[in-house]
Chains A and B, each alone.
Chain A
Amino acid sequence: MSTEAAIKEKVSYFEELEAIRAELDKCMKCGNCMAVCPVYGAEKLETSVTRSKIAVAEAVLDGQLELDDPQVYEMLFNCLVCKSCMSNCPTQVNFERIMLALRAALVRKNGLPWLKKMIFATLKHPKLFDAGMRIGAAMQPLAFRGEQDGRAMAPRSPFALVGKGMGMDGERLLPSTTTKPLRERMPEVVTVQDATMKVAFFTGDSLNYFYPEAGEDLISVLSANNIEVHIPKEQSCCGTPVLVHGDVATVRSLARKNIDAMDKSGCTYIITGCGSCGNAWQHDYPELMAGDLVYAAKAQYWAERTYDISTFLTRVITMRPPQGRVEQVVTYHDPCHLKKGMRVCSEPRDILKNIPGLTFKEMKAPDACCGSGGSFVLTHYETAASIGKKKADDIAQTGAETVSTGCPACMMQLMDNMHRCGQDKEIVHYISLLAESYRRENEATKKN
């Protein structure tokens, strides 16, 4: 296929559902997706699994089913967009593309307000509705806090406000949102002596608002490796939460704004500490921007220069080996968007295993989804809880005291999963363990 045709195909599936047909044709209905789909694992219904969603999409294109048939609509949102099926698909069907195209088509057909109403109409757990609305409202100012220049694109989907992976009920454990966001804590440029390189840190909303300490740890690790870190103030949400609800226009605005912010930084690479953010830069932005005369090339440029912090430390530079002892038994959960999107899997483990004193214990099925998945936990409470319980059981079996992962949305979900199962383990970003090792090393040096 010519590059031009490839670009055309990439652009059009966001605007025209028919463009997805070739992707649908690739599906053999072999059912290998059943082995890995977390939703199918929990529900055991053909309608839960990828191949049936493909069959339904075919029926929609052929006019047998209506896209906004309540059953069809519900089925479309009964998916975590975790890409697990894609990693087990013999014919490499790009199901994420299919799902996003369907959701975008739904928004085109009936608009966002209809979608919002329908999503809330499917809230399965009575306790969730009030709390979900309450926290959604409480988060509204948060979503705009970093964007005081007035040019900010207000995300129109309610779930951009609710954020990633937030199920709300009385028992739901959430990170505190009252602390000062990362980008307000830090200067726009964190300089070091004898800097060997300068990189831009794309924080994403979750590290910025919910886990600023993990963000600080990421910066301290880069500083310890003589890297100058830029944290452009004008960056905003990566757009993944909006994109998974089919709001293509908003995510494009966010992408342009973020690309501008990174362009201005003059840095060589973008570093992320969140699988969804990095995945957006590596895969979604180039596809979303493919038809844009100005931004297509820019998106492609940054896609090739975006790294998860672990890849940057182990593959782009050679990180300084940590010396400080961290005496902890640690396991690691593979975030879907980090492993199945950014293909980052061995790097965080390499980092953890190199920390002196740390005992690494692999869990069963470390790359099984934790059940987060955007607003999924809100609208499909029982299924998400069942997926989460499986993950919590696998974690408990390792005997690890600390659960590490590489995505803040997973951190929230894991914290909640473990709490519900009566296992209050420490949940950390893996980078925080490396930062801790460097810190202890410094303390030891000072003492001597």
Chain B
Amino acid sequence: MLAQPVLSQLEQIVGKDNILTSKMDMVAYSYDATADMPKQTPDVVVFPQSSGMVQAIVNLAREHKVPIYSRGAGTNLSGGAVPVKKGIVLSFQKMNKIINIDPDNLSAVVEPGVIIGALNAAVAPHGLIYPPDPGTVATATMGGSAAENSGGLRGLKYGVTKNYIMGMEVVLANGEKVRFGGKTVKNVTAYDFANLFVGSEGTLGIITEITAKLIPAPKFRRTLVGTFKTLADAGNTVSGIIAAKVIPATMEIMDNMTLRTVENSAKIGLPTDVEAMLLIEVDGMSEDVVTAEAEAVKEAVIKNNGTLSVAESDKERDDLWAARRNALPALAQLNNTVILEDATVPRSHITDMLIACQDIGKKYNLTLGTFGHAGDGNLHPTILCDKNNKDEMERMHKAVDEIFAAALSFGGTLSGEHGIGMAKMKYLKDEIGESGVELMRSLKAALDPDSILNPGKMVPAPAEA
């Protein structure tokens, strides 16, 4: 429990309408969207509305050695937003203004609480888009997605959040404010701080403003679906499309378990006797190019023994997307706990990874479906289990260990887009080694010596590694 004088000072900083302390309110800020994570109630939630307020809060927290957890919309999938060591939740839900949109410089300056979808709605009249599109675009904030370096469905062609952050204002643990980057395309002044803070999960500094890069919205698109009798055919199609020099905007894959589950719940006429489905969308500024790319995709599907469907209208496109949209919801309805992983492999190992996930599911007798972003190798093996079944939960934990080991054995990574948080901290050294973990500790100690910024996340304490 925080001492009353600290609470009073917090209230003085943000105003009485921007602080929560009741027991009930604390329950509402005790979780994020990650399954199977410890919950913890914070001592207080504050809603700063300027970087000055954030600085004052940080100074107060440092003086009293109280942890601070920055929080956007709390849609995190690695336990990063849970106030696990109690203290102050710094919610950016009310610091949500779009400061300016600059079509000449293809950029926008936003406060961290701006919803990704709201930014896209605001730039659409200028014919522009902000491409990163995690599944939570309608709810997640710019600050949260920058801190987590979110990915999404368009990663293959358009990249991820880090490719769209041009500049930032960050409040450091010492209370200083630093601005770097800006609206210029080229900028090699100083270290590349943007890439340090993007994906730092709130452990190195607190993002208080973001300059985001925008691009012209593609004018044309074509959507195609291929279904395959073997995973190898699907994997070869992915390789074949890339070999034909086509980079689709999205290239999504769903395995048989996922397809059967979707069909069972949504009844949309999916084939349930195929091993995989690919949903492919090509887009661009010229109709000719997009048509030629769609033709190349068709050829690759047919050459690899796939059955093809092509959307001729928006309605048909919606129908083709229905399967992908329903993947997680349909799987999630199978049980009360959804373990959604994001192990990622080089594209050429997609087939190997899909087979490995299926085998692991069978080995531990678990309900496991895999879908994900085949084009960038980012898969979502999803395990459905019963949190009240201790034996099943233990088998699930073992399966998750093996999934990560498999991804690393194929030259992949623990996390493509969800982050490390609490969920994957113990695997960190398996990927980057003890020296990598030590490097993280050094950075953390340099920037946050009192460990007040999102403690217990991402950077393992010596005993935890």
Q: Which residues of B contact A46 (CB under 8 A)?
A: 28-29, 45, 74, 91, 93
- Is the pair A71, B329 in contact by a Cβ cutoff of 8 Å? no
A366 within 8 Å of B (CB atoms): no
Q: Which residues of B contact A47 (CB under 8 A)?
A: 20, 24-25, 28
Q: What is the total of A-B residue contacts with beta carbons within 8 Å?
A: 80
CA distance A35 to B333 in the complex (A): 20
CA distance A231 to B280 in the complex (A): 56
CB<8 Å pairs between A and B, sample of 14: A25-B387, A30-B136, A32-B138, A35-B138, A45-B28, A45-B93, A47-B28, A55-B30, A59-B27, A64-B23, A71-B24, A90-B332, A91-B333, A92-B333
CA distance A203 to B187 in the complex (A): 69
- Is the pair B338, A28 in contact by a Cβ cutoff of 8 Å? yes
CB distance from A441 to the nearest CB of B (A): 34
CB distance from A122 to the nearest CB of B (A): 14
| Interface segment, one of B31-39, B166-174, B431-439 | B31-39
Which residue of chain A has its CB nearest to the CB of B91? A46
CA distance A90 to B328 in the complex (A): 7
- Is the pair B75, A30 in contact by a Cβ cutoff of 8 Å? yes
- Is the pair A29, B32 in contact by a Cβ cutoff of 8 Å? yes
Which parts of A63-118 form the interface with B (CB within 8 Å)? 64-65, 69, 71-72, 75, 90-92
A8 within 8 Å of B (CB atoms): no
- Chain B CB count within 10 A is highest, among A26, A34, A65, A71, for A34
Q: Assuming A29-B33, A30-B75, A31-B73, is B27 touching A64 (CB within 8 A)?
A: yes
CA distance A91 to B327 in the complex (A): 11
CB distance from A227 to the nearest CB of B (A): 33
A52 within 8 Å of B (CB atoms): yes
CA distance A44 to B115 in the complex (A): 11
CB distance from B340 to the nearest CB of A (A): 9
B395 within 8 Å of A (CB atoms): no
A378 within 8 Å of B (CB atoms): no
- Is the pair A29, B27 in contact by a Cβ cutoff of 8 Å? no
CA distance A387 to B261 in the complex (A): 37
Q: Assuming A44-B93, A91-B332, is B33 touching A30 (CB within 8 A)?
A: yes
A56 within 8 Å of B (CB atoms): yes
Which parts of B326-383 form the interface with A (CB within 8 Å)? 328-329, 332-333, 336, 338
Q: Assuming A45-B93, A90-B329, is B27 touching A55 (CB within 8 A)?
A: yes
* CB < 8 Å neighbour of A34 from B96, B139, B332: B139
B94 within 8 Å of A (CB atoms): yes
Name 20 extra pairs, CB < 8 A, besides A32-B139, A56-B27: A28-B35, A28-B338, A29-B32, A29-B33, A30-B136, A31-B73, A31-B74, A31-B136, A34-B73, A34-B138, A44-B94, A46-B29, A52-B28, A55-B30, A59-B24, A71-B23, A71-B24, A91-B329, A91-B332, A91-B333
Closest 3 CB pairs of A and B: A90-B329, A52-B28, A35-B138
Q: Which residues of A contact B93 (CB under 8 A)?
A: 44-46
- Is the pair A44, B332 in contact by a Cβ cutoff of 8 Å? no
Which residue of chain A has its CB nearest to the CB of B113? A44
- Chain A CB count within 10 A is highest, among B35, B91, B117, B336, for B336
B22 within 8 Å of A (CB atoms): yes
- Is the pair B28, A55 in contact by a Cβ cutoff of 8 Å? yes
CB distance from B111 to the nearest CB of A (A): 12
- Is the pair B24, A72 in contact by a Cβ cutoff of 8 Å? yes
CB distance from B141 to the nearest CB of A (A): 10
Report how many residues on chain B are interfacial, defined by Cβ distance under 8 Å: 33
CB distance from B59 to the nearest CB of A (A): 25
- Is the pair B96, A44 in contact by a Cβ cutoff of 8 Å? yes
- Is the pair B332, A28 in contact by a Cβ cutoff of 8 Å? yes
- Is the pair B333, A65 in contact by a Cβ cutoff of 8 Å? no
Grouping DSSP codes into helix (H, G, I), strand (E, B) and loop, the B interface class, with mixed when no group exceeds half, is: loop
What is the interface of chain A, defined by CB distance below 8 A to chain B? 22, 25-26, 28-32, 34-35, 44-47, 52, 55-56, 59, 64-65, 69, 71-72, 75, 90-92
Which residue of chain A has its CB nearest to the CB of B138? A35
CA distance A64 to B23 in the complex (A): 9
Q: Which residues of B contact A32 (CB under 8 A)?
A: 136, 138-139
Q: Which residues of B contact A44 (CB under 8 A)?
A: 93-94, 96, 113
Q: Which residues of B contact A59 (CB under 8 A)?
A: 24, 27
- Is the pair A56, B333 in contact by a Cβ cutoff of 8 Å? no
CA distance A45 to B74 in the complex (A): 11
CA distance A370 to B73 in the complex (A): 24
* CB < 8 Å neighbour of B24 from A30, A31, A56, A91: A56
- Chain A CB count within 10 A is highest, among B27, B30, B329, B387, for B27
Q: Which residues of A contact B136 (CB under 8 A)?
A: 30-32
CB distance from A62 to the nearest CB of B (A): 10
Q: Which residues of A contact B329 (CB under 8 A)?
A: 90-92
CA distance A332 to B336 in the complex (A): 38
Q: Which residues of B contact A64 (CB under 8 A)?
A: 23, 27
CB distance from B34 to the nearest CB of A (A): 8
CA distance A22 to B45 in the complex (A): 30
CB distance from A93 to the nearest CB of B (A): 10
CA distance A59 to B30 in the complex (A): 11
Which residue of chain B has its CB nearest to the CB of A90? B329
CA distance A35 to B135 in the complex (A): 12
* CB < 8 Å neighbour of B33 from A28, A45, A71, A92: A28
CB distance from A207 to the nearest CB of B (A): 35
Which residue of chain A has its CB nearest to the CB of B77? A30
CB distance from A343 to the nearest CB of B (A): 16
Q: Which residues of B contact A35 (CB under 8 A)?
A: 117, 138-139
Q: Assuming A30-B75, A46-B74, A46-B93, is B25 touching A71 (CB within 8 A)?
A: yes
CA distance A47 to B30 in the complex (A): 11
CB distance from B136 to the nearest CB of A (A): 7
* CB < 8 Å neighbour of B75 from A26, A31, A56, A69: A31
CB distance from A262 to the nearest CB of B (A): 33
CA distance A59 to B26 in the complex (A): 11
CB distance from A45 to the nearest CB of B (A): 7
CA distance A69 to B35 in the complex (A): 28
